[in-house]
Amino acid sequence: MRQGTFQWMKSMNKSMILNKIRKDGPISRAQIARETNLTPPTVSSNVKELIDQGIVEESDFGQSQGGRKPTMLIINNDAFCIIGVDAGPETIECIAANLAGRVLERSETKLELPTDNGQFLGALKSCIADCVEKVKGKDIIGIGVAMHGVVDVATGVSLYAPNLGLENIPIKEELEAAFGLEVKVENDARAMALGEYWFGQHGDLESMLAVNIGTGVGAGLIIDGKLYHGSSDLAGEIGHMTIDLHGETCECGNRGCLQTFVTGPAIARHASGIASASPLTAQGVYEQAVAGNEACIALLTEAGKAMGVGLTNLIHIVNPQKIVLGGGVSKAGKFILPAIRETIKASALTPSASRTTVEISKLGDDATLIGAITLLLVDVFEVA
């Protein structure tokens, strides 16, 4: 593990060059200079440093434009690794991944609930330490933590983690002291959105909304390639969008919030009237639906309709090019996705609004973890 990796790698010119190689490599020094408006000597000197640092390497020769064949440059994806953390609410999961998002190692810790700040931080450190030990000898750039609830991104403090009943957890401060590495902390849904934007194979998008539907509902909005946080880091808390003024009381105290219709616990609660040998979990509802149980199919379809109402509201507000759904409930996409699309088509103000693409994440269960490592990759590869 190399302390300070972040600092010696990071500079405006290096980030510009690294991002160009990441997106367009193999690429020559001359092409980088032409397309970034940096001078050839600036490109050459920075590339030399990046090669010396191990993050860039020379590849095969490119096509000649009349002179000597240029040497092509690529990112050495295995030069460094990043620790990504999906923190709670029932387990802490960690991965070590390379610069291309390929998972190298994993570790997991089950949380003992109820918990307090000290116990939570202890479990967090233990899980990360286990993952770090598994990649011993590799240079680690830093640690990205995806945390549910409200996060102060600047300080890395979890201000409010509702599913754990905790407040003001100094995650960044504690982890940086424990591991001597750069730590980034972000809301889990926003982290997922960033991971989707980088690794979800969505092509060039100006705007994208990623929605995490599990025990809660959160979203991350990408605009011009950047995460949108809002004025006080609350952007994306769509689970508490009211869609029924007379609906169930939500854990936040308001009535008819979106998450009282579409989360795993909500689906299980609504299944209480379905005849079954034992109480159905959301997973049980899905399995029964797959087996042809009409009541369970109808329940998931209703959840999809409610999600469609919420997404239509968001389309009218931010009008993203694409919406990507992740989280445990998204695995029931066979049943909820048609209802979501039909609701949007019926409710959108204009035909163009109804053409917003809605699809299920291809990153699967790792979507949030991949998002957590992307928090660090953004600072390495992108110019602030």
The pLDDT tens digits of the residues spanning 210-268 come to 999 988 899 999 998 889 988 888 888 899 999 999 999 998 889 999 999 999 999 99
| pLDDT above 70 as % of the chain | 95
Q: Do the beta carbons of residue 131 and residue 107 sit within 8 Å?
A: yes
Query: What is the pLDDT at residue 10?
Result: 58
Percent of the chain with pLDDT over 90: 71
Residue ranges of domains in the chain? 5-75, 81-194+368-381, 202-361
Q: Taking 80 as the threshold, does the pLDDT of residue 61 lie above it?
A: no
| Residues 6 or more apart whose Cβ sits within 8 Å of residue 292 | none
Class of domain 5-75: mainly alpha
Q: Binning pLDDT at 50, 70 and 90, where does residue 191 land?
A: very high
| 3-class secondary-structure state, position 362 | coil
> Average pLDDT, whole number, for the chain?
90
How far is residue 317's CA from residue 370's CA, in Å, rounded to a whole number?
27
Question: Do residues 19 and 383 lie in contact, with contact meaning Cβ atoms separated by under 8 Å?
Answer: yes
* Residue 59 confidence (pLDDT): 84
Rounded distance, CA 76 to CA 141, Å?
Answer: 14
Mean pLDDT of 171-199: 95
Q: What is the pLDDT of residue 354?
A: 81
Topology of domain 202-361, CATH: Nucleotidyltransferase; domain 5 (3.30.420)
Contact status, residue 93 vs residue 153, Cβ threshold 8 Å: no
Q: How far is the C-alpha of 141 from the C-alpha of 37, rounded, in Å?
A: 28
Q: State the architecture of 81-194+368-381 in CATH terms.
A: 2-Layer Sandwich (3.30)
pLDDT bin (cut points 50, 70, 90) of residue 162 is confident
**Number of neighbouring beta carbons within 10 Å of residue 90:** 10
Q: Which residues of 53-79 are buried (b: 16+ CB within 10 A; e: fewer)?
A: bebbbeeeebeeeeeeebebbebbbeb
Domains 5-75 and 202-361 are alike in CATH topology: no
- pLDDT greater than 50 at residue 4: no
Residue 67's pLDDT band (cuts 50, 70, 90): low
| pLDDT exceeds 50 at position 28 | yes
Task: Give 274-311 pLDDT, tens digit per residue.
Answer: 877 778 899 999 999 999 999 999 999 999 999 999 99
The pLDDT of residue 15 is above 60: yes
Q: Which residue in the block uniquely carries the two structure tokens 């032409």?
A: 34
Q: What does the pLDDT read at residue 7?
A: 53
Average pLDDT over residues 60-72: 67
Q: Mean per-residue pLDDT for 80-108?
A: 94
Q: pLDDT, tens digit, for every residue of 314-357?
A: 999 999 999 999 999 999 999 999 999 999 999 998 888 888 99
Reported as a pLDDT band with limits 50, 70 and 90, residue 62 is low
Give rounded-to-5 percent helix, strand, coil for the chain. Answer: 45, 25, 30
Q: What is the pLDDT of residue 273?
A: 78
